[in-house]
Chains A and B, each alone.
Chain A
Amino acid sequence: MARVVVIGAGIMGLATAYNLAKRGVRDVLVVDRTYLCGGASGRNGGGVRAQFSSETNIRLMRESIAICRDFATEMKINVWFRQGGYLFLARSAERARALEENVALQNRCGLPTRMVDAAEMRKIVPELATEGVRAASFNPGDGVVFPWPFVWGYARAAEDLGVTIRPFTEVVGFETSNGRITGVRLRPTRLSPLDASDEVLPAGDATTEACDEVVICAGAWSPKVAALLGVALPNKPHRHEICATEPLKPWLGPLVADLTDGLYFSQSMRGEIVGGVAVDPVPEGINQQSSRRFLTTYSRALVGAVPVLAGVRVLRQWAGCYDLTPDGGPIVGRVADPTNLTLACGFMGHGFMMAPVMGRLLAEHVDTGETSELFARWSLDRFARGDLVHENMIIG
Chain B
Amino acid sequence: MAPRRILPTDLPPGSPLARRLAALGSSGRVTVEHDGAPVAAVEGEPLAVSLLAAGQLTLARSVKYHRPRGAMCLRGDCDGCLVRVDGVPNVMSCQTPARAGMVAQSQNAFPTAGIDVLRVTDWFFPRHLDHHHLLVKFGGALNRTMQVFARRMAGLGTLPDAIATFPRSEILDVDALVVGAGTSGVACANALARGGARVMLVDEREGPGGMRRDDPLDDGAYPGCDPAVMVRYGSGAVATYDDETLVIHEGRGVTVRARVRVFATGARESVGVFPQSDVPGVFTARAFALALCHGVLAGERVALVGDGLFARSIAATLGERVTHSPGAAVVEALGGRAVKGATLREGGREWTVKCDALVVDGELGAAYELAGQAGASVLWSDGRQCFVPESDAEGATSREGVYVAGSLRWGRIDHDARARDGAAVGARALRDLRGEGR
Partners in one complex: yes
Is there contact, CB below 8 Å, between B241 and A248? no
Interface of chain B residues 382 through 414 with chain A (CB within 8 A) = 390, 398-399
Contacts of A271 in B (CB 8 A): 154-156
Is there contact, CB below 8 Å, between A73 and B163? no
Question: Given the known A-B contacts A196-B373, A269-B150, are A248 and B132 also in contact in the complex, defined by CB atoms under 8 Å?
Answer: no
* Closest CB in chain A relative to B373 CB, distance in Å: 6
| B242 contacts chain A at the CB level, 8 A cutoff | yes
Report B229-266 CB contacts with A as 1/0, cut-off 8 Å. 00000000001011010100000000100000000000
Q: How far is the CA of A127 from the CA of B161 in the complex (A)?
A: 12
| B437 contacts chain A at the CB level, 8 A cutoff | no
| B139 contacts chain A at the CB level, 8 A cutoff | yes
Is there contact, CB below 8 Å, between A249 and B155? yes
Name the contact of B241 in the complex, choosing from A249, A250, A292, A310 (C-beta under 8 A).
Answer: A292
Is there contact, CB below 8 Å, between A250 and B159? no
Stretch binding the partner chain, chosen from A38-46, A77-85, A96-104, A353-361: A77-85
| B147 contacts chain A at the CB level, 8 A cutoff | yes
Is there contact, CB below 8 Å, between A196 and B375? yes
Name the contact of A248 in the complex, choosing from B134, B138, B156, B239 (C-beta under 8 A).
Answer: B156
Is there contact, CB below 8 Å, between B159 and A312? yes
Is there contact, CB below 8 Å, between A246 and B90? yes
Is there contact, CB below 8 Å, between B89 and A246? yes
Contacts of A269 in B (CB 8 A): 147, 150-151, 154
Is there contact, CB below 8 Å, between B241 and A291? yes
* Closest CB in chain B relative to A277 CB, distance in Å: 17
Interface of chain B residues 353 through 378 with chain A (CB within 8 A) = 372-373, 375, 377-378
Interface residues in A, total, Cβ within 8 A: 37
Is there contact, CB below 8 Å, between A247 and B151? no
CB nearest neighbor in A for B246: A292
* Closest CB in chain B relative to A46 CB, distance in Å: 14
Q: How far is the CA of A152 from the CA of B89 in the complex (A)?
A: 33
Is there contact, CB below 8 Å, between B390 and A310? no
Question: Given the known A-B contacts A195-B375, A290-B241, A310-B163, are A78 and B147 also in contact in the complex, defined by CB atoms under 8 Å?
Answer: yes
Contacts of A76 in B (CB 8 A): 133, 136-137
Interface of chain B residues 83 through 138 with chain A (CB within 8 A) = 88-90, 108, 131-138
* Closest CB in chain A relative to B250 CB, distance in Å: 15
| B379 contacts chain A at the CB level, 8 A cutoff | yes
Is there contact, CB below 8 Å, between A77 and B132? yes
Question: Given the known A-B contacts A76-B133, A77-B133, A292-B239, are A251 and B163 also in contact in the complex, defined by CB atoms under 8 Å?
Answer: no
Q: How far is the CA of A354 from the CA of B391 in the complex (A)?
A: 45
Is there contact, CB below 8 Å, between B143 and A292? no
| A389 contacts chain B at the CB level, 8 A cutoff | no
Interface of chain A residues 254 through 273 with chain B (CB within 8 A) = 269-271
Q: How far is the CA of A291 from the CA of B139 in the complex (A)?
A: 44
Name the contact of B140 in the complex, choosing from A70, A149, A310 (C-beta under 8 A).
Answer: A70
* Closest CB in chain A relative to B261 CB, distance in Å: 14
- Across chains A and B, the number of contacting residue pairs, with CB separation under 8 Å, is 113
Is there contact, CB below 8 Å, between A247 and B154? yes
| A193 contacts chain B at the CB level, 8 A cutoff | yes
Q: How far is the CA of A12 from the CA of B132 in the complex (A)?
A: 21
Is there contact, CB below 8 Å, between B390 and A193? yes
* Closest CB in chain B relative to A340 CB, distance in Å: 37
Name the contact of B164 in the complex, choosing from A80, A194, A311 (C-beta under 8 A).
Answer: A311
Question: Given the known A-B contacts A70-B140, A270-B154, are A310 and B255 also in contact in the complex, defined by CB atoms under 8 Å?
Answer: no
Is there contact, CB below 8 Å, between A251 and B379? no
Interface of chain A residues 185 through 200 with chain B (CB within 8 A) = 193-196
Name the contact of B158 in the complex, choosing from A81, A194, A249, A291 (C-beta under 8 A).
Answer: A249
Question: Given the known A-B contacts A73-B138, A73-B139, are A194 and B377 also in contact in the complex, defined by CB atoms under 8 Å?
Answer: yes
| B351 contacts chain A at the CB level, 8 A cutoff | no
CB nearest neighbor in B for A75: B136
Is there contact, CB below 8 Å, between B244 and A292? yes
| A224 contacts chain B at the CB level, 8 A cutoff | no
B: interface residue count bin: 35 or more
Contacts of A78 in B (CB 8 A): 131-136, 143, 147
Interface of chain A residues 48 through 69 with chain B (CB within 8 A) = 69
* Closest CB in chain B relative to A288 CB, distance in Å: 13
Is there contact, CB below 8 Å, between B137 and A250? no
Is there contact, CB below 8 Å, between B156 and A247? yes
Q: How far is the CA of A122 from the CA of B89 in the complex (A)?
A: 23
* Closest CB in chain A relative to B53 CB, distance in Å: 27
CB nearest neighbor in B for A311: B164
Question: Given the known A-B contacts A290-B241, A292-B244, are A82 and B147 also in contact in the complex, defined by CB atoms under 8 Å?
Answer: yes
| A371 contacts chain B at the CB level, 8 A cutoff | no
Is there contact, CB below 8 Å, between A193 and B158? no
Report B49-93 CB contacts with A as 1/0, cut-off 8 Å. 000000000000001000000000000000000000000111000
Is there contact, CB below 8 Å, between B88 and A311? yes
| A182 contacts chain B at the CB level, 8 A cutoff | no
Name the contact of A310 in the complex, choosing from B154, B166, B377 (C-beta under 8 A).
Answer: B166
* Closest CB in chain A relative to B345 CB, distance in Å: 36
Name the contact of A246 in the complex, choosing from B157, B239, B379 (C-beta under 8 A).
Answer: B157
Contacts of B163 in A (CB 8 A): 307-308, 310-311
| B152 contacts chain A at the CB level, 8 A cutoff | yes
Q: How far is the CA of A77 from the CA of B135 in the complex (A)?
A: 9
* Closest CB in chain A relative to B263 CB, distance in Å: 14
| A72 contacts chain B at the CB level, 8 A cutoff | yes
| A313 contacts chain B at the CB level, 8 A cutoff | yes
| B165 contacts chain A at the CB level, 8 A cutoff | yes
Contacts of B132 in A (CB 8 A): 77-78, 149, 152
Q: Which of B88, B132, B135, B158 has the most CB of A within 10 A?
A: B132
Report A227-265 CB contacts with B as 1/0, cut-off 8 Å. 000000000000000000011111100000000000000
| A289 contacts chain B at the CB level, 8 A cutoff | yes
Is there contact, CB below 8 Å, between B159 and A292? no
Is there contact, CB below 8 Å, between A248 and B375? no
CB nearest neighbor in A for B151: A250
Is there contact, CB below 8 Å, between A127 and B159? yes
Question: Given the known A-B contacts A72-B143, A76-B137, A193-B378, are A249 and B157 also in contact in the complex, defined by CB atoms under 8 Å?
Answer: yes
Contacts of A247 in B (CB 8 A): 63, 154-156
| B160 contacts chain A at the CB level, 8 A cutoff | yes
Is there contact, CB below 8 Å, between B379 and A193? yes
Question: Given the known A-B contacts A246-B90, A290-B241, A308-B163, are A73 and B143 also in contact in the complex, defined by CB atoms under 8 Å?
Answer: yes
Q: How far is the CA of A290 from the CA of B158 in the complex (A)?
A: 28
Question: Given the known A-B contacts A196-B375, A249-B158, are A310 and B246 also in contact in the complex, defined by CB atoms under 8 Å?
Answer: no
Show 16 A/B contacts (Cβ-Cβ < 8 Å), sorted by A.
A73-B137, A73-B139, A77-B136, A78-B131, A78-B147, A193-B378, A193-B398, A196-B373, A249-B108, A249-B157, A249-B158, A250-B155, A290-B241, A291-B241, A310-B166, A312-B89
Q: Which 10 A-B pairs have the closest CB atoms?
A: A271-B155, A311-B164, A193-B377, A311-B160, A249-B155, A271-B154, A247-B155, A310-B164, A249-B158, A248-B155
Binding site for A on B (CB under 8 A): 63, 88-90, 108, 131-140, 143, 147, 150-152, 154-160, 162-166, 239, 241-242, 244, 246, 255, 372-373, 375, 377-379, 390, 398-399
Given contacts A195-B399, A196-B375, 4 further A-B contacts (CB under 8 A): A80-B150, A193-B398, A248-B158, A290-B241
